[in-house]
Structure 1
Amino acid sequence: MSKKVLSIVLVICMLLSAMSGCSKPAEQPAAQPAEQAAQEPAGMKDGTYTSTVNGMHGPLSVEVKISNNAIAEAKVTGHMETPGVGEVAVNQIPAAIVEKQSLAVDVVSGVTITSRAILSAAEECLVQAGADVAAIKVAGEKPAPGNIEETADVIIVGGGGAGLSAAVAATNNGASVILIEKTGFLGGNSIVAGGIYNAPDNELQDYAEEKRSDSLETLITSAVSETPVNDEHKALMEAVKKEYEEYLKTDKTLFDSPDWFALQTWNGGDKIANLRLVKILTSSAYDGLKWLESMGAEFSPIITHGGGSLYPRTHSSTSPNGTAYIKAFTDDLEGKDNFKKIMNCTGKSLITEGDKVIGVMAEGSDGSKYTLKANKGVILATGGFAGNVELRQEYCEGEKWPDLGPNVPTSNMPGVTGDGIFMARDAGAELIDMDQIQLLPYCNPQTGATYDIVMGIGSALFINKEGERFVREDGRRDEMSKAIIAQTDGVMYMLQSADGIPDPKTQKALGGQLLSYYLDNNIAGYVSGDTLEELAGKLNVPADALKKTVEDYNSYVDSGKADPFGRVSYSGKLENGPYYAYPRKPAVHHTMGGVRINENANALRADGTEIEGLYCAGEITGGIHGGNRLGGNAIVDFVIFGRIAGTSAANNK
């Protein structure tokens, strides 16, 4: 055989052999599923996988799509996390998982529980897909921290309501602004606030649920007839008395004025506050409301009597919690060339030059060091210290609040630890009213959250475990909190009815979740009953006592008179089922003490002189709320004094 023929034969044999190797004989039995899995290449199986875990406030569901051995998509498909806060992690964490093809992604600072819940659910999805989870959780090498120096006209420490309000005002006045925020989201504690804003609004108050009544008249006349403590107090009472006399000559539904608002705010804080600052707050409140509306914030057209506000002048945001305020500010700042934010960056100390504050030393979560110089001024807007157990025990624990330890929850976000207060003190600022702290009476007994309070609090009754009322429901927050602590197990039930909540499928909580969801999923202790007897059985309270309590209350509504507990505001009777109830207890909510400031939000020394270049706004300050902050005044505070601080810093006031 020639070499040429031999070569042809060899090629034909190789082709036949290859064809034979790529085919499967017809008689070969089908492989079993386990054998198929063993023969498949290592990696993830294509498909869409789901998992549900417990988040911060309830079930959280994640969906992960695998395609060609890669994470093609990850998303949160359902959750109950805090609007504006948990939502940051809901948006960022799944996107980071897809981008990095890894579970080794950073949690959102300040939103740790939600972040970890998302990662846990995503991990379960990847386990279902057959992934090598250990490998996917290996973190890559992170860049080394750096030393960063930047300069702007105004440096703002804190990205909550006061800091953002100041940023809007400063940029609107032509200043360049750098804002730093220690967490991974903007809004701070303001974003989880109840969302209520007090302001005299005579036009809307003509349509308020409240009308002229003997109880409201008694409230006003008693406040203007007491013995004055100083000349300022005397002048304010005389102004209110004159305004009220003029009001009685009209057919207006409800009396109100900035002076009456100021008198109630000052009296409600035990006359401890700086009355000049109080009058700035109340006289600017309506203008602040219109400023917010000009930036897109929306409010209900109905004036209510907000919890702890002491009077029906409360405007309620149409968005959950405090999200409308933060969105208004961030929308205004979006795209501004003279505004920059640095997230996950904590202010550590103030830079001084002689007696003047000229900047901030800060540190990023990655260890980077920041030197931020201010051409015009530094604004501290870091909030209070209700989340700092050690500080609240040191400054505020005493006769009024014997126990403020770790077993007392807080309604605050984790980042509210008092950082800026002591930065200011170290620069020479005086701290005032540091012993004044407020507990909020209607918080979740386990978490301290206000997120799950169902709207319509003004129509609720407070019931103890004996089925009886025990305190004025529209009174001062501190008095309500102390009364609850004195009840059996230190807890109460908030009782509402179909008269105020016609449909649980449309009635929302402060966080935006439906009442029906809480009832259907047995969340936050919500129960309902078609009758008071049925509800009493579910609460394990005496039915006869509960029925008598409600009947007595309804009789006070009919008469229009103040009831034995002093309640002056009635939204209506509780006559028709279903009836709803849920447990509540006090949680540490607001610190009224902090840095002493003047009318321009300048930080002051003990001798009353200004610290040049240093401004403070929001809960970091003292002197505005005294011994008890009225419900609905905190947002007014950060809007008004944040705006003042930003304007002052931009103009070197």
Structure 2
Amino acid sequence: MAQTIVVGGGLAGLSAAHTLLERGGNVLLLDKQGFMGGNSTKATSGINGAGTQSQQDLGIPDNSKIFFDDTKKSARDLARDDLIRVLTGRSGDAVNWLQDKFGLDLSKVSRLGGHTHPRTHRGDAQFPGMVITYAQMERLEDLAVSNPERVKIIKKARVSKLLKDESGAVIGVDYVHGGKTESAYGPVILATGGYAADFTEDSLIKKYRPELWDLPTTNGDHCTGDGQKLAMAVGASGIDLEKVQVHPTGLVDPKEPDAKVKFLAAEALRGVGGLLLDSKGQRFVDELQHRDYVTGKMWENKNHPIRLVLNGPASKDIEWHCKHYVGRGLMKRFEGGDALAKEFGISPAALKKTFEDYNQIVRAKKDPFGKKFFQGEWKYDDYFNVSIMTPVLHYTMGGLEIDAESRVIDKSGKPIPGLFAAGEVAGGVHGANRLGGSSLLGCVVFGRVSGDSAAAYLLQTTSAIVQKAGGRLGALAGQLASSSSPAASPTTAVATPAAPVGKTTSGAYTMEEVAKHNKKDDIWVVVDGQVLDVTTFLPDHPGGEKAILLYAGRDATEEFNMLHDPKVIPRYAPEAVIGKVKP
């Protein structure tokens, strides 16, 4: 089968690529970053699924109909029923696919805001977005080495134009790589993400929600609405572009309170029992309400700063997150209620009253703020993990209009032949407000749907596309006729080479020497006794530069191992290893 072009190397693009391969297709994946993964790697709460094996094992009586109703309610009746049915109806299969095909542990199930049942899945030890995305990413990169005639990956490739034939069908793309413009041909799946970091001159945020322009964002700087703009330039219809989700719990770094990019406090922290308290140490909202509702209540409350507080049981339940945030200086641990009251600047009696009032609510199961689900009573003599919160631009519900087959719709209401969209680039799925845990789900579900649809389209139209494109596709047609000729041409990409073996070096450095390299233009870190010069890798890090800069000139072993598999360094940054730490 001829190739399909997937634009974007996040979870939606990866899910589309794997589905295409399962259907016998070939994949050319173009990603404008130097390291695939996108915002999917940052997702910390988990992936939703209704009727999964994990839910059945835990005795959770959930199903896709209940999930549909929850999503419909959250969307404020603005999402399309057909897309919600796809999202919720295929959710259980999506989670099972991840577990069965990629061997992932998604056995822990929690309840996030707006859900009537626990249905957000994650593993036991690591952050789910990173684990799920890395599993797919590594599998695809291995296939690019072992099967280059079927899988080709080009990183730092920015798609500049969608190509159409005289009938209006999309037949390929122009992309810029290494300073040169190249062309590639085949149907296109757009999986470029949202526009919540779109602060460019033609910003969709500025055009559709100018009042949110000054807010910080949780998104990587690659989320500038590229796919939306490319498709709308060739006649695609945009939908709900004004629907921008402001997440209530962005983590404020006390050292950089005005930083434009914030780390996200996972919704799971509230799901396991975390409380939102104002500067007087008082609750003011149901912590498990929809994101837009909680954000509104935070803006209404004049007693700032707002803090998220986890007690001992909640901290233990989500220990990895707490360690991660504490390690980054975004969360503090307090040993006992007196220390916590001092942090708030209130009396111990005032904090005790907050806990006593909440315990009465837990016992009565009746909350004046409307909370319905509780994780137990609070003790004053306990330990606490605490962070300062601020609302942040997080997710864009709007995007390209698609149908239930992930086909991009034009302004006349008809599908554009050869063009598909999956993940945050597509609109109409979540309406006015997305439920927590449905971001990763939307990537996987519509990634798979778009892969299925593109494979079916290609089977039906390959010969017609080749004939219409004429001489311009002559070289490609010859290649497609024979998989035994993997030589690169101007219309195809070179397969990703095998990851090089890490440097063998006799260099040995003291920690004092490492500590001297602590600037953005000269940065070393230590991981498991290895010294890494990560200066050139810094802009390619999927978690953003700040995640590395926090450990400049220091030992980052604990934080690194908390989040990464040991093979990440030899696979993705072998050239960074310059030696070992002197004993």
Pick aligned residue for 2:162 from 350, 373, 389: 350
CA distance in 2 between counterparts of 1:454 and 1:472 reads 13
Pick aligned residue for 1:600 from 400, 405, 410: 405
Q: CA deviation at 1:611?
A: 0.4
SS at structure 1 position matched to 2:102: coil
Do structure 1's residue 417 and structure 2's residue 229 form an aligned pair? Answer: no
SS at structure 1 position matched to 2:324: coil
Do structure 1's residue 573 and structure 2's residue 377 form an aligned pair? Answer: yes
- Structure 1 residues 379-394: aligned runs within 5 Å: 379-389=189-199, 390-394=203-207
Q: Report which structure shows greater RCO (CA 8 Å, sep ≥6).
A: 2
Give yes or no for contact 1:455–1:509 (8 Å, CA) kept in 2: no
Give yes or no for contact 1:266–1:273 (8 Å, CA) kept in 2: yes
CA distance in 2 between counterparts of 1:300 and 1:311 reads 16
Q: CA deviation at 1:256?
A: 2.0
Q: CA deviation at 1:452?
A: 6.1
Give yes or no for contact 1:490–1:585 (8 Å, CA) kept in 2: no
**Residue in 2 that maps onto 1:530:** 336
Do structure 1's residue 457 and structure 2's residue 270 form an aligned pair? Answer: yes
CA distance in 2 between counterparts of 1:157 and 1:206 reads 36
The count of aligned residue pairs is 440
CA distance in 2 between counterparts of 1:181 and 1:263 reads 35
Q: CA deviation at 1:535?
A: 0.7
* % same residue: 31
- Structure 1 residues 9-20: aligned runs within 5 Å: none
Give yes or no for contact 1:439–1:589 (8 Å, CA) kept in 2: yes
Give yes or no for contact 1:471–1:480 (8 Å, CA) kept in 2: yes
CA distance in 1 between counterparts of 2:407 and 2:316 reads 49
CA distance in 2 between counterparts of 1:583 and 1:308 reads 23
Aligned partner letter, 1:639: V
Do structure 1's residue 176 and structure 2's residue 26 form an aligned pair? Answer: yes
Change in 2 beyond 3 A, CA 1:474/1:164: same
Change in 2 beyond 3 A, CA 1:552/1:627: same
Aligned partner letter, 1:294: D
Q: CA deviation at 1:635?
A: 0.7
Q: Which deviates more, 539-548 or 590-599?
A: 539-548
Aligned partner letter, 2:224: T
Pick aligned residue for 1:256 from 62, 68, 72: 62
Change in 2 beyond 3 A, CA 1:421/1:317: farther
**Residue in 2 that maps onto 1:585:** 390
CA distance in 2 between counterparts of 1:332 and 1:395 reads 38
Give yes or no for contact 2:45–2:120 (8 Å, CA) kept in 1: no
**Residue in 1 that maps onto 2:422:** 617
CA distance in 2 between counterparts of 1:357 and 1:455 reads 41
Change in 2 beyond 3 A, CA 1:580/1:392: same
TM-score by length of 2: 0.71
Give yes or no for contact 1:299–1:317 (8 Å, CA) kept in 2: yes
SS at structure 2 position matched to 1:513: helix
Aligned partner letter, 1:571: Q
Give yes or no for contact 2:197–2:217 (8 Å, CA) kept in 1: yes
Q: CA deviation at 1:489?
A: 6.5
- Structure 1 residues 256-335: aligned runs within 5 Å: 256-307=62-113, 309=115, 311-318=117-124, 319-333=126-140, 334-335=142-143
CA distance in 2 between counterparts of 1:282 and 1:496 reads 31
Q: CA deviation at 1:298?
A: 2.6
Pick aligned residue for 2:5 from 155, 173, 193: 155
Give yes or no for contact 1:297–1:325 (8 Å, CA) kept in 2: no
Q: Which deviates more, 286-295 or 199-208?
A: 199-208
SS at structure 2 position matched to 1:360: strand
Give yes or no for contact 1:321–1:451 (8 Å, CA) kept in 2: no
**Residue in 2 that maps onto 1:437:** 244
Pick aligned residue for 2:311 from 497, 517, 536: 497
CA distance in 1 between counterparts of 2:236 and 2:366 reads 45
Q: CA deviation at 1:207?
A: 6.7
Change in 2 beyond 3 A, CA 1:296/1:157: same
Do structure 1's residue 540 and structure 2's residue 341 form an aligned pair? Answer: no
**Residue in 2 that maps onto 1:427:** 234
Do structure 1's residue 404 and structure 2's residue 212 form an aligned pair? Answer: yes
Q: CA deviation at 1:539?
A: 2.3
Gaps of 5+ in 1: 1-150, 209-252, 398-402
CA distance in 2 between counterparts of 1:183 and 1:483 reads 37
CA distance in 1 between counterparts of 2:198 and 2:123 reads 29
Q: CA deviation at 1:646?
A: 1.0
SS at structure 1 position matched to 2:158: strand
SS at structure 2 position matched to 1:509: helix
Pick aligned residue for 1:362 from 155, 160, 175: 175
Change in 2 beyond 3 A, CA 1:588/1:345: same
Give yes or no for contact 1:527–1:582 (8 Å, CA) kept in 2: no
The structure with the largest alpha-carbon Rg is: 1
Gaps of 5+ in 2: 459-583
Aligned partner letter, 1:563: D
Give yes or no for contact 1:467–1:542 (8 Å, CA) kept in 2: no
**Residue in 2 that maps onto 1:240:** none
CA distance in 1 between counterparts of 2:163 and 2:267 reads 46
CA distance in 2 between counterparts of 1:604 and 1:491 reads 44
Give yes or no for contact 2:333–2:383 (8 Å, CA) kept in 1: no
SS at structure 2 position matched to 1:603: strand
- Structure 1 residues 625-640: aligned runs within 5 Å: 625-640=430-445
Q: CA deviation at 1:331?
A: 3.3
Q: Deviations over 1:280-332 (max 9, x none)?
A: 11010010001111233533533211255454211123422511111221233
Change in 2 beyond 3 A, CA 1:489/1:384: farther
Change in 2 beyond 3 A, CA 1:347/1:502: closer
**Residue in 2 that maps onto 1:339:** 151
CA distance in 1 between counterparts of 2:310 and 2:220 reads 28
Q: What is the root-mean-square deviation of aligned Cα atoms in Å?
A: 2.3
Give yes or no for contact 2:196–2:224 (8 Å, CA) kept in 1: yes
Q: Deviations over 1:349-405 (max 9, x none)?
A: 1001021100001112x311111111xx111111110001342132124xxxxx312
Give yes or no for contact 1:199–1:282 (8 Å, CA) kept in 2: yes
Q: CA deviation at 1:264?
A: 0.8
TM-score by length of 1: 0.64
Q: CA deviation at 1:195?
A: 4.4
Change in 2 beyond 3 A, CA 1:352/1:475: same
CA distance in 2 between counterparts of 1:645 and 1:437 reads 24
Q: CA deviation at 1:470?
A: 0.8
Q: Deviations over 1:570-607 (max 9, x none)?
A: 12222241123211111100000011111111111133
Change in 2 beyond 3 A, CA 1:551/1:593: same
**Residue in 2 that maps onto 1:468:** 282
